């Protein structure tokens, strides 16, 4: 009995020992598994961190941008530029023009230079003309850990000038208008590239529709200026009879020449004809018909002007010029005394011109000889003008009385030259004086 009990105790002790041994043996194995699991998790975490970090490097952003531009993927380029906070207008036309601009100018090959070794080396891409094209910058942090980077395109400015107002302009599917007395339009927030600008005008005397090619590779410091040079303009009409009626293509427009300050606009191709008419002494007198092919039109009547005023104190030269400008230039008024006349004449002369100096010298000679001159007739023979000035040829007749009281009549063909200063004509020289022999 006792032997059996001892055997049972031995068996129980043996089983307990085995169980305890197994427990002791399993503890290191579980610990090892946990350590392996933790190590694997750390490796996965580090790998994931490195993978995610590599997705947000500046090099990665640059490569994505270069690939999208090179493949003309305007949707991806639009997304990148929009995410970068681009202030320029983004639409299909402008983004496609921008991609072509980047590829054709080889600027796309310079984007790599903006970053190096995971850092921004140069935040701005500037071309040879000083145009700031791209900016790369730090963005928000993804998950609060990973630094992101953005690329934005800098906007350009376009200034369009026109020789006429009330013009419709169409650019990049946008229609704008130059209102009355507006000759300049500015466009902001444009992506650089090549565009077509349409100009449309419909007026009383002419219709114009032209297309101009714009190339922002010619811009400087993000600004491009485009002057519309189509052959159309307002014109100025001059005449020695400012009260004459004005006719366009044979039709009376209901205005006198003196009432027409800005006339047109017209196509300067000579297809429009103008002339003037005036009634003198019961007879209607007409000028020649003149085609409009320039900004300045002369409508001259062959009507000599008699000057009955005595000009003993004033030389015939000044009297003739004064009388001429009283008739020829709009709003010129006769003076009533010598001071007013001097101010009037001084205003017409280019003070640095040869004619001003010659006329003063001439007057000194006249006074020294104690002679007087009286202008008895003054006629416009012809004139020619352009943007720089005008040449006028006149026929002038004077009664010249010497100090002995002897009077003789002389006629001259005189050629005057006028320069255009601030849109006003200033006489600067007398080109030629020829005596007309009777």
- Taking the C-alpha atoms of residue 109 and residue 214, their distance in angstroms, rounded to an integer, is 24
pLDDT of residue 185: 96
- Is 428 within 8 Å of 354 (Cβ atoms)? yes
pLDDT of residue 330: 34
SS3 (DSSP) at 433: strand
- Provide the β-strand partners of residue 385: 390
- Taking the C-alpha atoms of residue 70 and residue 72, their distance in angstroms, rounded to an integer, is 5
pLDDT of residue 316: 38
pLDDT of residue 399: 82
All domains of the chain in start order, with CATH? 58-153 (no CATH), 156-227 (2.60.40.1120), 233-298 (no CATH), 316-436 (3.10.450)
pLDDT 10s digit of each residue in the chain, 438 long?
A: 555 545 555 555 555 555 555 555 555 666 677 776 676 666 665 555 445 444 557 788 888 899 999 999 999 999 999 999 999 999 999 999 999 999 998 898 888 888 876 677 778 999 999 999 999 988 656 555 667 888 999 999 999 999 889 999 999 989 999 999 999 999 999 999 999 999 999 988 888 899 999 999 999 999 999 999 888 888 988 887 888 999 999 999 999 998 887 788 999 989 999 999 999 888 999 999 999 988 888 888 875 544 444 333 333 344 445 555 444 333 334 444 454 445 545 555 666 666 655 666 666 666 666 777 777 777 777 777 777 788 888 888 878 887 788 888 888 888 888 888 777 777 788 888 888 887
CA distances for 17 relative to 5, 21, 22, angstroms: 18, 6, 9
- Taking the C-alpha atoms of residue 54 and residue 207, their distance in angstroms, rounded to an integer, is 61
Is the torsion defined by CA of 174, 178, 179, 184 positive or negative?
A: positive
- Taking the C-alpha atoms of residue 314 and residue 202, their distance in angstroms, rounded to an integer, is 52
> What pTM did the predictor assign?
0.62
CA distances for 229 relative to 209, 214, 234, angstroms: 12, 13, 13
Q: Which helix (H) or strand (E) element contains residue 301?
A: none
Q: Which of 52, 44, 40 is closest to 144 using CA atoms?
A: 52
- Taking the C-alpha atoms of residue 218 and residue 193, their distance in angstroms, rounded to an integer, is 10
Q: Which helix (H) or strand (E) element contains residue 289?
A: none
- Provide the β-strand partners of residue 406: none
Q: How many CB atoms lie within 10 A of CB 230?
A: 16
pLDDT of residue 213: 96
pLDDT of residue 368: 64
pLDDT of residue 34: 73
């Amino acid at each position: 009995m006792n032997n059996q009990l001892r055997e049972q105790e031995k068996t129980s002790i043996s089983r307990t020992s085995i169980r305890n041994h197994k427990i002791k043996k399993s503890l290191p194995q579980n610990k090892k598994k946990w350590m392996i699991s933790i190590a694997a998790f750390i490796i996965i975490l580090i790998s994931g961190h490195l993978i995610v970090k590599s997705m947000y490097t500046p090099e990665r952003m640059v490569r994505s941008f270069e690939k999208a531009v090179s493949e003309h993927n305007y949707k991806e380029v639009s997304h990148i530029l929009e995410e970068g906070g681009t202030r320029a207008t983004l639409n299909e036309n402008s983004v496609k023009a921008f991609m072509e601009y980047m590829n054709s100018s080889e600027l796309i090959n310079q984007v790599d230079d903006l970053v190096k070794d995971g850092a921004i080396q140069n935040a701005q891409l500037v071309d040879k003309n000083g145009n700031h094209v791209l900016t790369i910058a730090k963005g928000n942090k993804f998950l609060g850990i990973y630094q992101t980077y953005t690329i934005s395109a800098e906007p350009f400015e376009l200034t369009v000038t026109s020789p006429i107002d009330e013009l419709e302009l169409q650019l990049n599917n946008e229609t704008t208008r130059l209102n009355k007395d507006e000759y300049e339009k500015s466009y902001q927030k444009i992506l650089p590239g090549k565009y077509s600008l349409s100009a449309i005008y419909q007026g009383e005397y002419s219709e114009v529709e032209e297309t101009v090619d714009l190339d922002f590779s010619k811009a400087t410091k993000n600004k491009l200026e485009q002057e519309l040079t189509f052959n159309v303009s307002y014109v100025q009409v001059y005449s020695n009879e400012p009260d004459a009626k004005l006719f366009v293509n044979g039709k009376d427009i209901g205005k006198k020449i003196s009432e027409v300050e800005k006339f047109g606009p017209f196509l300067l191709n000579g297809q429009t004809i103008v002339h003037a008419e005036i009634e003198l002494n019961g007879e209607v007198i007409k000028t020649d018909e003149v085609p409009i092919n320039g900004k300045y039109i002369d409508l001259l009547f062959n009507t000599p002007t008699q000057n009955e005023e005595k000009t003993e104190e004033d030389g015939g030269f000044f009297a003739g010029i004064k009388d001429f400008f009283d008739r020829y230039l709009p709003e010129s008024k006769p003076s009533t005394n010598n001071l007013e006349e001097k101010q009037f004449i001084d205003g017409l002369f280019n003070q640095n011109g040869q004619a001003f100096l010659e006329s003063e010298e001439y007057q000194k000679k006249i006074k020294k000889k104690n002679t007087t001159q009286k202008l008895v007739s003054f006629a416009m023979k012809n004139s020619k003008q352009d943007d720089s000035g005008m040449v006028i040829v006149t026929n002038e007749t004077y009664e010249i009385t010497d100090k002995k009281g002897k009077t003789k009549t002389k006629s001259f063909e005189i050629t005057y030259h006028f320069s255009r200063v601030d849109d006003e004509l200033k006489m600067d020289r007398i080109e030629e004086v020829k005596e007309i022999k009777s």
